[in-house]
Amino acid sequence: MNIMLFIGVLLFSCFWTCITNKFLPAETLDKNKSQSRYDERQSKMFIEILAKSFIWLIYSLLFLLLLRVFGWFDAEGALTSTYPEIIFILIGLFLLVFNYFTTKKKYT
């Protein structure tokens, strides 16, 4: 069973590395800027969208943590107590879409 877990993590790591090397701008990967498939404006937009989304995802994690610590959130039977990953993936996707449109509006 442990070998299957190791193989799964190894395959996911290889897959994730290939995807990030293919789609992320060169500034995020310490590559040569000449190897990037994005121009400077697109790279700035991409990095700004990811940064804003990450910050707001951290804010939402901290907010949920505060709600649970002070007992203002009933965790019994809630979707976040059973599958908290689903909630944060949905929040992250919403933030990516929202920040994409606000950043695109800023740069056009």
Cβ contact 60:88 at 8 Å: yes
- The model carries a pTM of 0.70
Distance, in Å, from the CA atom of 80 to the CA atom of 77, rounded to the nearest integer, reads 8
Q: Does residue 33 register a pLDDT over 70?
A: no
Residues 22-53: b if buried by 16+ CB within 10 A, e if exposed: eebbbeeeeeeeeebebeeeebebbbbbbebb
Condensed to tens digits (0 to 9), the pLDDT of residues 89-107 reads 998 999 999 999 999 898 8
Cβ neighbors of 60 (< 8 A, separation 6 or more) are 88, 91
Question: Token digits for 90?
Answer: 């949905």
